Chain A
């Protein structure tokens, strides 16, 4: 599988580490979250047959974290973006 890195171009998926669903970026607010919110965040996952937004860490490259939209039934990748551009702005 080839991931088209937004900065570095097509790179082999062997250079990446899969970090799970992109929903992990939406961490509950520690000030207001209930134990149930944390349970959902830590344990509950959708398991879609189809497009899935997920995080890939370019460990063997520029160490950026990418949001990859991948179809779980075909492995077709429809979009790749840098997570730093979509994350919460400090």
Chain B
């Protein structure tokens, strides 16, 4: 029998939390991810299946649909990144594949990404040092891919001006964490 200890993206036993001023950066390990790409000529069937799963139409360009148990982020034409709680949806790719069948190609993404939530009243002061998102127009439910510290990251607005979720490449979790905490120390 294996007796392995689960560690977070930053290598800790417990998720790391950093607070500077009134802004808190929290590592979020409880995220299961899968990419869903509609197959050619199956776009409308796939969208209909996703609508049933998400409780509404899948998000349009530059948007996210946040919900339970599944949330979705638009990542490209007819392609989405779906997320759910890792506790209950560790096998998210298999679950989605069984529902979407041949309408979409589904790939497991959980171990490819790390997740941080940045919350507090001064979130924009930190973000404007990190990326080129037009923050005055970055409303709740908006989501975009951008470069942070030369890393391709998704930034999702959970609450305008107060809370964003950042998904970055897991192999560079330490670098991304360093970049964000450095920006926090500079901005706050």
Instruction: Report which A residues bind B (CB closer than 8 A).
Output: 7-9, 12, 14-15, 59-64, 82, 84, 90
Task: Return the CB mask of B122-163 against A: 1 if under 8 Å, else 0.
Answer: 000000000010000000000011110000100000000000
Taking a contact as CB atoms closer than 8 A, the residue among A9, A60, A84 that contacts B146 in the complex is A60
Pairwise interchain contact A62-B152, C-beta atoms closer than 8 A: no
Residues of A close to B145: CB separation below 8 A: 60-62
In this assembly, does B12 line the interface, its C-beta being within 8 Å of a C-beta of chain A?
A: no
Pairwise interchain contact B62-A8, C-beta atoms closer than 8 A: yes
Residues of A close to B40: CB separation below 8 A: 90
Q: How far is the CA of A62 from the CA of B37 in the complex (A)?
A: 13
Taking a contact as CB atoms closer than 8 A, the residue among B74, B75, B76, B146 that contacts A15 in the complex is B146
Taking a contact as CB atoms closer than 8 A, the residue among B61, B62, B77, B152 that contacts A60 in the complex is B152
- Measured between C-beta atoms, what is the minimum distance from B118 to chain A in Å? 20
Residues of A close to B75: CB separation below 8 A: 62-63
Residues of B close to A60: CB separation below 8 A: 145-147, 152
Pairwise interchain contact A12-B77, C-beta atoms closer than 8 A: no
Instruction: Report which B residues bind A (CB closer than 8 A).
Output: 40, 61-62, 74-77, 132, 144-147, 152
Q: How far is the CA of A64 from the CA of B179 in the complex (A)?
A: 27
Q: How far is the CA of A14 from the CA of B132 in the complex (A)?
A: 10
Residues of A close to B147: CB separation below 8 A: 14-15, 60
Q: How far is the CA of A12 from the CA of B62 in the complex (A)?
A: 15
Taking a contact as CB atoms closer than 8 A, the residue among B77, B146, B152 that contacts A82 in the complex is B77
Give 9 nearest A-B pairs by CB, closest first: A7-B61, A62-B76, A60-B147, A61-B145, A63-B76, A8-B62, A12-B132, A60-B152, A8-B61
CB-CB nearest in chain A for B61: A7
Pairwise interchain contact B144-A8, C-beta atoms closer than 8 A: yes
Residues of B close to A62: CB separation below 8 A: 61, 74-77, 145
- Measured between C-beta atoms, what is the minimum distance from B155 to chain A in Å? 12
Residues of B close to A64: CB separation below 8 A: 76-77
